[in-house]
């Protein structure tokens, strides 16, 4: 009994009572009542106050004391004084600087420091930004919320709606319930079009969103105004704007909850109609920021005048990305499309399009300025592969040469070097250092390198067509083997709108030279081969040729925190195409050849629940089928599917789950031995993850992963690995766990701890292992361990 007052006192302090003044209350919760047929999310958006975010299942807000800690030492005057002194200091330095580059660097530093001070002045210091101010109940905000809701309901056609609020208090915690009485909705009885410009009236009446008998909704009127504006600014009406469009609704004339709606489109003052604009000329300025005005030259190509100091760009290729044409009607969409496609070429700092209406001519000016021709980037970091042990440092360096051959193509040279600490393919307990290094040369052309007519290339310019020619070389040195890989590919990419991207790689070739295989590992491969396993064939020196198709669809900018969003990726690859055409003797008999078909479908969905939490879901499935070479047919090792790991089922070690119900039992400990990676032909996995922000850079997550991998055929060395529809449900693995995320804005670090719930490798009737987890090593003799937690360290979200 003594503990109850103590616990109550502690919780009261955590909620924020100690920050209240006399007669104040904390806004603890807000509720809606009688919301049938109403959008509760939009009603909730009318709140003028929000309760403080709390820990799940607890009435505790840890963000409030953090905010109050920062508030104690916060002074706006100090930040304003520091900002003023800094600006004066840098202004003096800029005046004294003798070089333009030095002045530019000083201005950049001044802008960064000024932005930092402005952020502190507007949003508070770091602790204030991490925390939340205490939500003190405000009766004025409650009345304002009532007004907002009634205004919203009237905009939805409920002109007579009434909202009342009831505040209930318990121990200085206020809960407000808003009771909605929407009453009967008003409908549109008739529509009157007051449009004196007959040409515009004819255009507007087509495909209108307004209909007799529909419920009056302000959003429909807003959408109709947007439709009209978009229609007209794409029909030559350069001077048109939304301000010319208005609506009037008369709800009193008829009664019976009916509305007479008037759509009004006014003419410009002093004019009897809106002017239609046709382009007379287009002028493209390629170096608008240049100071050397007197040296400018001009030339004309396909009706466009190019103004420049140095003639460094191909006018033919630029013409394929410009959708403005002389003697054509002004279209806003063509303006935006031209800006977007010129920007997509990654050669210009900016692309601005302005129109000159002075005089009788209507002239389009396209202003651009070149990016730096040479650009370098260096990336240094560390990979955490397994259990966070032995971080592997890596270094990536790239050099980009823009407009390499004056055809707006970009050349990029990259080199990489990395040392990873990871388990071997055949020994999960021992950690090794593996070295991997290589280089990449890529040419990106802003066109399809295909024998197409100029007219065709111009027509497809709006799809951002690109050709990528890439050559790569990679050296990998692992304890079990040493392999060198040379590869080359040509790919064509294009996109529809901003959310649908396609890629076709008609030719991707790889020469794989296995220089060394560890004798112990080689003996293991031979043992597996003697028992019918074709795993060893994947380590032969080989020639792999393939063709690849990829399509990705991103709906609503996947991962945004305001709207539900989706991501879909389809991958299809066919291997051995050159072998099918020329035969397997094309490069002699010393190389292995592979023929296969591989496909993968990745589906993701993210649903924000509120400002601080969301639910993310994923389904990832794929299959690879080797064909040819009789019983020895297999996949290249890199083309197999693997299950388990930080972006897969996090309760299993990387690439160690499955296939099927296969259980590699250690003869000494009688526990499952996770020494071996488990390649498979079929993959099915999914995840559900709840994510919630705690404070500042810290977030947490609860996740549930499920899935497995399988082989097409029975593998004598791995019994239970064959895919069988009747055994699918019993062979689905399930893992669960908790995670912490540290969001540094430029980098997100993730820690996830996964534990097994259902393990298909366990005997029938013993697959549920959640209650049997242990932190002991599962290779400990005489101790049976079925569920050892797995720590995953990753960069970025798992999906």
Give the sign of the dihedral formed by CA 249, CA 251, CA 254, CA 256.
Answer: positive
Is the per-residue pLDDT at 166 higher than 70? yes
Reading the block at residue 490, the tokens are 């040509």
Calpha distance 16→136 (Å, rounded): 10
Write out pLDDT tens, residues 268-281.
Answer: 999 999 999 999 99
Which pLDDT tens digit goes with each residue over 182-232? 999 999 999 999 999 999 999 999 889 999 999 999 999 999 999 999 999
pLDDT at 580 over 70: no
Q: Which residue has the higher pLDDT, 626 or 529?
A: 626
Spatial distance between the Cα atoms of 176 and 143, rounded to a whole number of angstroms: 11
CA 616 to chain centre: 12
- Three-state DSSP class for 35? coil
Average pLDDT of the residues in 297-325 = 95
CA distance 137 to 50: 9
3-state secondary structure of 9: helix
Q: Is the pLDDT of residue 180 over 60?
A: yes
Element (H or E) spanning 130, and its range?
helix 126-130
Residue with tokens 């005046």: 95
Which residues does residue 574 pair with via DSSP β-bridges, in sequence order? 547, 597
Question: Which whole number is the average pLDDT over 613-620?
Answer: 95
d(CA 393, CA 380): 7
Q: Read off the pLDDT of each residue in 737-746 and give the average, rounded to a whole number.
A: 89
| Of 286, 284, 285, 308, the residue nearest 295 (C-alpha) | 308
Q: Are 428 and 409 within 8 A, CB to CB?
A: no
Per the model's pLDDT, the better-predicted residue between 305 and 783 turns out to be 305
**Rounded average pLDDT over 247-257:** 89
Record the tokens describing residue 537, joined without a space: 């064939």
pLDDT confidence of residue 14: 61
**What is the end-to-end Cα distance of the chain in Å, rounded?**
48
More confident residue, 636 or 239: 239
Cα–Cα distances (Å) from 486 to 438, 483, 511, in that order, read: 10, 10, 5
Average pLDDT over residues 166-174: 92
Q: What is the pLDDT of residue 562?
A: 85
- Averaged pLDDT for residues 284-309: 88
Average pLDDT over residues 402-418: 94
Q: What is the pLDDT of residues 689-713, one digit of tens each?
A: 999 888 778 899 999 999 999 999 8
Q: How many CA within 13 A on the CB side of residue 31?
A: 12
Q: Give the per-residue pLDDT at 6.
A: 46
Dihedral angle over CA of 691, 145, 60, 744, nearest 10: 40
| pLDDT confidence of residue 332 | 97
Cα distance between residue 321 and residue 347, in whole Å: 13
Q: How confident is the model at residue 507 (pLDDT cuts 50, 70, 90)?
A: very high
Output the CA–CA distances (angstroms, integers) from residue 404 to 312, 321, 414, 454, 494, in the order listed.
10, 18, 16, 22, 21
Task: Give tens-digit pLDDT for 130-144.
Answer: 888 999 999 999 999
Which pLDDT tens digit goes with each residue over 221-230?
A: 999 999 999 9
Q: Is the dihedral of CA 526, 527, 531, 537 positive or negative?
A: negative
Q: Given a cut of 70, is residue 423 above it in pLDDT?
A: no
Model confidence at 388, in pLDDT bands (50, 70, 90)? very low
Under the banding of pLDDT at 50, 70 and 90, the label for residue 85 is very high
Q: Is the pLDDT of residue 27 over 70?
A: yes
| CB 756, CB 725: distance < 8 Å | no
What element of type H or E holds 150?
helix 139-155
Between residues 506 and 296, which one has the greater pLDDT? 506
Tokens of 323: 């959708």
Between 103-107, 470-474, 501-505, the lowest mean confidence (pLDDT) is in: 103-107
Contact (CB, 8 A) for 392 and 419 = yes
DSSP-derived pairing of the beta strands 245-250 and 258-265: antiparallel
CB atoms within 10 A of CB 86: 16
Average pLDDT over residues 396-400: 94
Residue 784 confidence class, pLDDT cut points 50, 70, 90: low
Q: Which of 202-206, 442-446, 552-556, 787-791 has the lowest mean pLDDT?
A: 787-791
| pLDDT above 70 coverage of the chain, percent | 90
**Token reading at 61:** 């807000």
- Residues 654-678 have a mean pLDDT of 82
Q: Residue 637 has which token pair? A: 């090792």
Computed over its alpha carbons, how large is the radius of gyration of the chain? 33
Query: Percent of the chain having pLDDT more than 90?
Result: 58
Burial of 611 (0-12, 13-18, 19+ CB in 10 A): exposed
Q: What is this structure's pTM?
A: 0.82
Averaged pLDDT, 649-655: 91
**Per-residue pLDDT band at 4 (split at 50, 70, 90):** very low
Q: Are 322 and 408 in contact (CB under 8 A)?
A: no
Tokens (6 digits) for 697: 């850079």
Name the average pLDDT for the chain.
88
Residue 501: what are its φ and ψ, rounded to 5°?
A: -125, 135
Q: What is the pLDDT of residue 2?
A: 45
Evaluate if residue 779 carries a pLDDT over 90. Answer: no
């Amino acid at each position: 009994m003594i503990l109850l007052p103590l616990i109550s006192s502690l919780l009261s302090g955590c909620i924020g009572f100690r920050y209240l003044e006399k007669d104040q209350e904390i806004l603890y919760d807000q509720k809606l009542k009688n919301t049938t047929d109403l959008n509760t999310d939009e009603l909730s958006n009318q709140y003028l106050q929000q309760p403080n975010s709390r820990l799940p299942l607890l009435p505790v807000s840890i963000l409030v004391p953090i905010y109050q800690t920062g508030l104690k030492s916060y002074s706006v005057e100090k930040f304003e004084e520091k900002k003023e002194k800094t600006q004066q200091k840098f202004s003096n330095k800029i005046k004294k600087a003798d070089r333009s580059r030095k002045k530019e660097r000083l201005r950049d530093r001044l802008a960064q420091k000024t932005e930092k001070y402005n952020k502190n002045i507007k949003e508070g210091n770091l602790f204030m930004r991490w925390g939340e101010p205490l939500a003190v109940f405000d009766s004025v905000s409650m009345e304002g919320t009532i007004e907002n809701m009634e205004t919203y309901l009237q905009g939805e056609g409920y002109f007579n709606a009434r909202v009342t609020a009831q505040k209930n208090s318990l121990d200085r915690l206020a809960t407000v319930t808003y009771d909605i009485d929407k009453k009967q909705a008003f409908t549109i009885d008739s529509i009157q079009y007051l449009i004196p410009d007959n040409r515009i009236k004819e255009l507007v009446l087509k495909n209108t969103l307004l209909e007799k008998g529909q419920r009056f909704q302000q959003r429909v009127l807003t959408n109709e105004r947007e439709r009209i504006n978009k229609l007209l600014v794409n029909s030559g009406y350069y001077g048109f704007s939304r301000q010319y469009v208005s609506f009037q609704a008369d709800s009193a004339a008829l009664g019976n909850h009916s509305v007479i709606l008037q759509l009004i489109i006014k003419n410009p003052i002093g004019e009897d109609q809106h002017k239609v604009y046709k382009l007379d000329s287009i002028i493209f300025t390629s170096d608008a920021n240049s100071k050397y005005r007197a040296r400018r030259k001009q030339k004309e190509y396909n009706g466009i005048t190019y103004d420049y100091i140095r003639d460094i760009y191909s006018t033919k290729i630029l013409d394929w990305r410009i959708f403005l044409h002389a003697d054509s009607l002004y279209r806003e969409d063509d303006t935006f499309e031209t800006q977007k496609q010129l920007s997509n070429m990654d050669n210009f700092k900016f692309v601005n399009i302005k129109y000159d209406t002075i005089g009788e001519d209507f002239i389009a000016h396209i202003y651009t300025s070149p990016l730096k021709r040479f650009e370098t980037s260096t990336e240094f970091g560390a990979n955490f592969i397994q259990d966070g042990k032995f971080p592997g440092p890596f270094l990536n360096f790239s050099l980009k040469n823009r407009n390499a051959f004056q055809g707006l193509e970009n050349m990029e040279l990259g080199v990489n070097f990395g040392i990873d600490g990871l388990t071997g393919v055949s020994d999960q307990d021992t950690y090794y250092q593996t070295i991997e290094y290589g280089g990449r040369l890529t040419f990106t052309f802003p066109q399809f390198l295909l024998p197409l007519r100029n007219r065709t290339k111009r027509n497809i310019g709006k799809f951002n067509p690109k050709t990528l020619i890439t050559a790569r070389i990679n050296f990998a040195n692992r304890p079990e083997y040493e392999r060198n890989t040379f590869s080359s590919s040509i790919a064509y990419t294009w996109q529809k709108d901003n959310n649908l991207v396609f890629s076709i790689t008609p030719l991707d070739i790889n020469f794989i030279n296995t220089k060394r295989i560890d004798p112990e590992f080689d003996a293991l491969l031979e043992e597996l081969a003697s028992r019918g396993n074709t795993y060893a064939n994947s380590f032969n020196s080989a020639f792999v040729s393939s063709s690849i198709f990829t399509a990705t669809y991103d709906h609503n900018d996947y991962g945004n925190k305001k709207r539900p969003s989706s991501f879909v990726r389809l991958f299809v690859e066919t291997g051995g195409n050159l072998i099918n055409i020329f035969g397997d003797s094309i490069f002699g008999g010393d190389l292995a050849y592979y023929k296969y078909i591989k496909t993968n479908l990745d589906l993701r969905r993210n649903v924000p629940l509120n400002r601080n939490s969301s639910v993310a879901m994923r389904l990832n499935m794929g299959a690879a089928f080797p064909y040819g070479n009789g019983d020895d047919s297999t996949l290249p090792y890199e083309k197999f599917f693997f299950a388990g790991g930080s972006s897969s089922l996090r309760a299993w070690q990387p690439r160690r789950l499955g296939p099927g119900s296969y259980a590699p039992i250690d003869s000494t400990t009688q526990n499952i031995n996770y020494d071996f990676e488990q390649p498979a032909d079929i993959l099915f996995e999914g995840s559900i993850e709840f994510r919630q922000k705690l404070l500042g850079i810290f977030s947490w997550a609860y996740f549930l992963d499920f899935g497995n991998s399988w082989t097409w055929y029975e593998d004598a060395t791995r019994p239970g690995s064959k895919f069988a529809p009747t055994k699918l449900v019993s062979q689905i693995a399930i893992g669960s766990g908790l995670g912490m995320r540290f969001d540094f804005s430029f980098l997100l670090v993730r820690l996830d701890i996964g534990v097994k719930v259902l393990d298909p490798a366990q005997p029938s009737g013993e697959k549920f292992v959640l209650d049997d987890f242990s932190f002991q090593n599962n290779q400990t003799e005489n101790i049976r361990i079925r569920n050892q937690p797995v720590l995953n360290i990753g960069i970025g979200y798992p999906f």
